[in-house]
Amino acid sequence: MEAYLDNAATTKPFHEVCDIMLKTMKEDYGNPSSMHLKGVEAENYIKKAKEIIAASLKVEPKEIIFTSGGTESNNTALIGVALANKRSGNHIITTKIEHASVHNPVIFLEDMGFRVTYLDVDENGKVDQEQLLDSICDDTILVSIMYVNNEMGAVQDVEAISKAIKDKKKDILFHVDAIQAYGKYKIRPKKQGIDLLSVSGHKIHGPKGIGFLYIKDKVKIKPIIYGGEQQKGMRSGTENVPGIAGMGKAAELIYKDHEKKVAHLYELKERLVAGLQQIEGVTVNGIGLGIENTAPHVVSASFADIRSEVLLHALEERDVYVSSGSACSSNHPALSGTLQAIGVKKQLLDSTLRFSFSVETTEEEIDYALVMLNELLPMLRRFTRH
């Protein structure tokens, strides 16, 4: 059998997502900026998707802009806010465990003269709120913290963090990278004090190449893409109608029977963690506060005496698909900053795999992966030690 356990990298699109995308490509293919009927038909898909997504967040449709994915959403939020608010200050706060799509634009802003504070996290990946508050200065304009860590599933209490930030300096803008959180949690930006929120389509059984950015009404932000002034000038370029329609459908489906879906993910996680903890030389990372306080779909585990790449490919030969750290950076092998930040032992940094589930993952897949691990690990370790 096959066990696809790399859903934090990407999920398989729902059938309904494929159907609506095919319809927009074969039948309703107009340019949404065109004034004739074909254009109006295409524009209606965008309106519908925007309404579905806005309803899922309890925000206004006008506060949603579509992007090419999570990376563009994060870049737009960080660079757009920094450029629009630089007269108010040049200090940005983020963490040491952010995804590269936040980390690298922050480095870009540093090169432009902005000052950045990188917050520590504890062994469970939690932000030190005292350090956060101590870091806030008169010239702080933006705080960016991810909701769910993509490598080990740490979850931040974004509402408490936002309250602490705004109690100290109310005009600081709070951006949340929710790429691994949307679809797993009921997110309410207005209640949770989130000013900007980034989401990607292909993490929730939607298509690749599409995402959105929630921008709270009245937030000062500059576009980073200029052209035909689509999406009220915030993101020029002809809209990706098939992608938008597919993402809207995915958002609708992922939040249907949501509690049941999340419960299923936690059952899978508990099953895998219990199995891993029975294997000699395996450490499950970041679950010190209990599985229920981590994301339901991500497990990080370190395997003593085996390089992650060797184990990953050995599992692949048995049709078990996992990831070594973040899939987005797997083409640039380096020791994970996230694992270092949570204090994973040096000798295990290059021995860690990420297992991640979707609502379509089955218990049989988990059991099959555990059987394969139990078969492969003694053999690989014997080879390594000789």
Taking phi over 0 as left and psi of -120 to 50 as alpha, with beta for the rest, 13 belongs to beta
Q: Which residues of 265-283 are buried (b: 16+ CB within 10 A; e: fewer)?
A: bbebbeebbebbeeeeebb
Let me know: does 89 contact 226? Beta carbons within 8 Å. Answer: no
Residue carrying the six token digits 């737009």: 76
Q: In the numeric block, which tokens belong to residue 94?
A: 């983020």
89 secondary structure, DSSP code: -
- State the Cα–Cα distance between residues 206 and 9, nearest whole angstrom: 13
Active site residue 18: no
**In which order are the strands placed within the sheet that holds 352-356?**
282-285, 298-303, 352-356
- Catalytic residue among 328, 349, 371, 372, which? 328
The angle subtended at Cα 177 by Cα 263 and Cα 350, nearest 5°, is 80
Residues 189 and 41 sit within 8 Å (Cβ to Cβ): no
Alpha helices in the chain (DSSP H): 15-26, 37-57, 70-84, 100-111, 129-135, 158-168, 189-192, 241-254, 258-277, 308-317, 337-341, 363-385
Residue 349 DSSP SS3: coil
Question: What is the C-alpha R_g of the chain?
Answer: 21
Distance CA 367, CA 349 (A): 25
Cα–Cα dist 199/213, whole Å: 6
Which residue do the tokens 């999340």 mark? Answer: 262
- Where in the sequence numbering do the catalytic residues fall? 328
